[in-house]
Amino acid sequence: MLDQIRGLHHVTALTADAVRNNAFFTKALGLRRVKKTVNFDAPDVYHLYYGDETGTPGTVMTYFPFPGIRAGRPGAGEVGTTAFAIPAGTRDAWAARLAGLGISGLAREESFGEKRLHVQGPDGDSLALVEVDADARAPWTGVVGADLAIRGFHSVAMRLRDTGATAELLTFMGYEKLAEERGVARFALPGGAGAHIVDLEAVPDANRAVEGGGSVHHVAFAVENRARQLEVRKALTETGHHVTPVIDRDYFWAIYFRTPGGVLFEIATNEPGFTRDEPVTHLGEALKLPRQHEHLRPALEQQLAPLA
């Protein structure tokens, strides 16, 4: 069993509209845009990162905006809901804030004894705010005050036709099953301090999800550094997973593999982080391009929609 995984690192999803997506995450949810770059594998579209002040692993939601992409169709084999932690007692204040901003799809739910507010993102993204007692993580307070602000991820929930193989994989990655409720199995990393929960929802009769706007593209788990990442890569490969070589993503090193349930997993390093190429005070403001795409800058600056 592995002991290198530190919880979620980031969650990456798709949107049809960069401007609308940026406004939702920075203004309505009050996260900080910590990086404005491009999709390294398709540099004509943005890659936008939203998180806490410095983009601490476990707080970072990221989007590939493909202008006009068709909406995804929810189903099996994907991350269904991405949940963020909010302070205990703030659900009603969040509901009032988001309703006041015209955000739809607000629904109060209870799950595993926790109060949640389901929130629909601008592409139909399935998001939730979950009340957490004494989450010690310091929030970004540029837009939303510290009494209310999102602390980082709470969890991701995957929808799977058969949860067995993914449950086995999570256990191999160091997760322990905590509880089961209404067809959802909750796994957590022992000793986790936020962003350490993964829920597996069994949907045996569901159609396969069709990826599109609002869909999660992949979920990334954190390791401290490249040495730990290589240990994880070796262990996953030896257990039969087809893992990519290590890829330099400028702000972290990444490996990817498709899990048996259909969800794309990434293992990402906590080093070097989002402050490697701009100061904390100006994170996310300038368009950052990886060296291999720097020659495209004049065209990209013309083509990519300006963001507030």
Residue ranges that bind Zn ion, judged by CB under 5 A: 12, 220, 266
In angstroms, give the least distance from the CB of 118 to Zn ion: 24
Report d(CA 158, CA 109) in Å as an integer: 17
Nearer to Zn ion, 16 or 220 (CB): 220
Residues 6+ apart with CB under 8 A from 246: 226, 229, 230, 233, 253, 254, 255
Nearer to Zn ion, 202 or 220 (CB): 220
Nearer to Zn ion, 24 or 252 (CB): 252
Report d(CA 157, CA 76) in Å as an integer: 11
Report d(CA 166, CA 219) in Å as an integer: 13
Q: Which amino acid is at 199?
A: D
In angstroms, give the least distance from the CB of 267 to Zn ion: 10
24: which DSSP letter? Answer: I
3-state secondary structure of 265: strand
Largest CA distance in the chain: 53
In angstroms, give the least distance from the CB of 146 to Zn ion: 28
In angstroms, give the least distance from the CB of 252 to Zn ion: 8
In angstroms, give the least distance from the CB of 258 to Zn ion: 14
Nearer to Zn ion, 211 or 266 (CB): 266
Nearer to Zn ion, 184 or 247 (CB): 247
Helix or strand holding residue 68 (H, E): none
Nearer to Zn ion, 132 or 264 (CB): 264
Per the listing, tokens 């999570």 go with 170
Per the listing, tokens 């005070």 go with 281
Report d(CA 192, CA 175) in Å as an integer: 10
In angstroms, give the least distance from the CB of 194 to Zn ion: 19
Sign of CA dihedral 134, 188, 186, 223: positive
Q: Are 281 and 289 in contact (CB under 8 A)?
A: no
Q: Are 86 and 150 in contact (CB under 8 A)?
A: yes
3-state secondary structure of 19: helix
In angstroms, give the least distance from the CB of 248 to Zn ion: 13
Per the listing, tokens 């086995």 go with 168
- Measuring CA to CA, how many Å separate 304 from each of 27, 122, 288? 20, 19, 12
In angstroms, give the least distance from the CB of 10 to Zn ion: 6
Nearer to Zn ion, 48 or 220 (CB): 220
Nearer to Zn ion, 12 or 22 (CB): 12
